[in-house]
Amino acid sequence: MHAVRDQGRSLDAALAEFEDLDDPRDRSLVRELCYGVLRTLPRQAALAGALLHRPFKRADRDLEALILVGLYQLTDTRIPPHAAVAATVDAARAMGRTWAPALVNALLRRFQRERARLLDPPDPTPEVRWLFPRWLLEKLQAAWPQHWREIVAAGNARPPMTLRVNRLKTTRAHYARQLGSVGLTVHPSQDTSHGLTLDRPVSTAELPSFSAGLVSVQDAGAQLAAELLDAQPGERILDACAAPGGKSAHILERAGGKPDLMALDIDPVRLERVRANLRRLTLSARIAQGDATAPDGDWARTRYHRILLDAPCSATGVIRRHPDIKWLRKENDIEALCDLQARMLDALWPLLVPGGTLLYATCSLLPAENEAQIRAFLGRRDDAHARPPAAAWGMARPYGRQTLPQAGGPDGFYYAVLEKSG
Ligand SMILES: C[S@@+](CC[C@H](N)C(=O)[O-])C[C@H]1O[C@@H](n2cnc3c(N)ncnc32)[C@H](O)[C@@H]1O
């Protein structure tokens, strides 16, 4: 918690340090506590603020993070309160400040005595009420006056776990039966041809034949990309921001493994995950490390029939999966992201054959990264036009379609299909 909240590390990176815990129950408890605190951070921080006589010094912010974890256990979990208090006091002792255990003990016990009053403050700030940073709340309210409350509620809820069944190895109905035989119930995820949403998330180790590539974990909204791109066998395809490879693999599965797919990413470490995913699924693609804003090298000399630009973005549509985004992302990041997306569009467009298609995708809910980005691009190119996707999912937006995060449904994605004059 301290690493994410005070040092700006991503939750995934911070949690990676706990992967070697022997007992899987400990690993999942660490995850549950960290995800939960980040989901509800303003509330826990306000409680800690109300209970502390004065704010912690900078050097003691780690201890404050521990207190947030203790409070979360008391407010949002079924961990018996005496166990939560005892474990938090033990952790404070392990952190080596002699005064800390008594302070933590007194603070958590006082919370228990006064919890009804503390949990119902008379005039909560918007952050405490909605558990989102104020700048993002304001942007969502402006962009989605009818929907922002549901967006925020879905962003604070637990995400569903959705699978993409590998059509080259099995069928959705058959795999659903295989899951049933190990006690896992699912329902077909709407709007996808091969998605199955589990009634309760499990680790991939519990999924039958996961290592043999029968199935991948992929949100339903993400599964719309390959359908919209509609790559055909024999075509040259560029996946310009490919890592960790979920959409690349889906593109290949959907077209019988036959497209000539180039998976590009700037991050060599993340490209290893593309390799591992394709290996598990026994799929093959060319893989290149490079910068989509500055085409160079072999991948840049090819002309592609279709390009997928799954651009780096604010990730405001996937906050329920990455609650750290709420606190790590800053308002002035948005402008830099928009600039990067525009440079990618401009640099990749010349790599498309006449008559080719570029699918622009983000997991953002902010119009600046979505329809405004596409409007500006179309204003710069007279050989580009947007074809409104013929689809029933989500909602039509200028130039494309958007899904909003929904309980049991997809994450928030925006897609625009751009065609190059022939
Ligand atoms: C939204 S993620 C892609 C997810 C991927 N398409 C999937 O479905 O698994 C964005 C990716 O863009 C990559 N990226 C960021 N800047 C880039 C650049 N200038 N050129 C190429 N890739 C870049 C990041 O490393 C990251 O892997």
Tens-binned pLDDT, residue by residue, of the chain (422 aa) = 999 999 999 999 999 988 888 898 899 899 999 999 999 999 999 999 999 988 899 999 999 999 999 999 999 999 999 999 999 999 999 999 999 999 999 999 999 999 999 999 999 999 999 999 999 999 999 999 999 999 999 999 999 999 999 999 999 999 999 999 999 999 999 899 999 999 999 999 999 999 999 999 999 999 999 999 999 999 999 999 999 999 999 999 999 978 899 999 999 999 999 999 999 999 999 999 999 999 999 999 999 999 999 999 999 999 999 999 999 999 999 999 999 999 999 999 999 999 999 999 999 999 999 999 999 999 999 999 999 998 999 999 999 999 999 998 999 999 999 999 98
> Residue 48 corresponds to which tokens in the numbers above?
């800690």
Helix axes 134-143, 148-156, angle to 10 degrees: 140
| 3-class DSSP state of 281 | coil
* Pocket test residue of 164, 217, 265 for ligand 1, highest count of atoms within 8 A of CB: 265
> Residue 124 corresponds to which tokens in the numbers above?
């909560």
Q: Which atom of ligand 1 is nearest to the CA of 362?
A: 1
Catalytic residues: 363
Q: Which atom of ligand 1 is nearest to the CA of 270?
A: 27
> Residue 241 corresponds to which tokens in the numbers above?
């921001």
Closest CA to 338 of 379, 382, 372, 307: 372
* Pocket test residue of 10, 228, 241 for ligand 1, highest count of atoms within 8 A of CB: 241
Where b means 16+ CB within 10 Å and e means fewer, 270-283 reads ebebbeebbebbeb
Place of tokens 């090819």: 302
For residue 87, the model assigns a pLDDT of 97
The reply to whether omega before 133 is within 30° of 0 (cis) is: no
pTM attached to this predicted model? 0.96
CA distance 25 to 108: 24
For residue 257, the model assigns a pLDDT of 79
329 DSSP 8-state letter: -
189 DSSP 8-state letter: P
Q: State residue 93 phi and psi, 5-degree precision.
A: -65, -45
| The pairing of beta strand 304-310 with beta strand 195-198 | unpaired
For residue 255, the model assigns a pLDDT of 94
Q: Which atom of ligand 1 is nearest to the CA of 274?
A: 9
Name the CA dihedral angle for 149, 152, 153, 156, rounded to a multiple of 10 degrees. Answer: -170
Q: Which residues line ligand 1 (CB under 6 A)?
A: 222, 241-247, 264-267, 270, 291-293, 310, 312
CA distance 248 to 283: 10
Do residues 287 and 279 make contact, with C-beta atoms less than 8 angstroms apart? Answer: no
* Residue identifier of the C-alpha nearest atom 2 of ligand 1: 312
- Reported for 146-152, long-range contacts at CB under 8 A and 24+ positions apart, including other chains, are 147/404, 150/404, 150/406, 151/365, 151/404, 151/405, 151/412
Say how many Å lie between the CA of residue 67 and the centre of ligand 1: 36
Amino acid at 6: D
- The burial class, CB within 10 Å (0-12 / 13-18 / 19+), for 203 is exposed
- The burial class, CB within 10 Å (0-12 / 13-18 / 19+), for 40 is buried
Quote the strand ranges of 133-259, DSSP E.
161-165, 186-188, 195-198, 215-217, 236-239
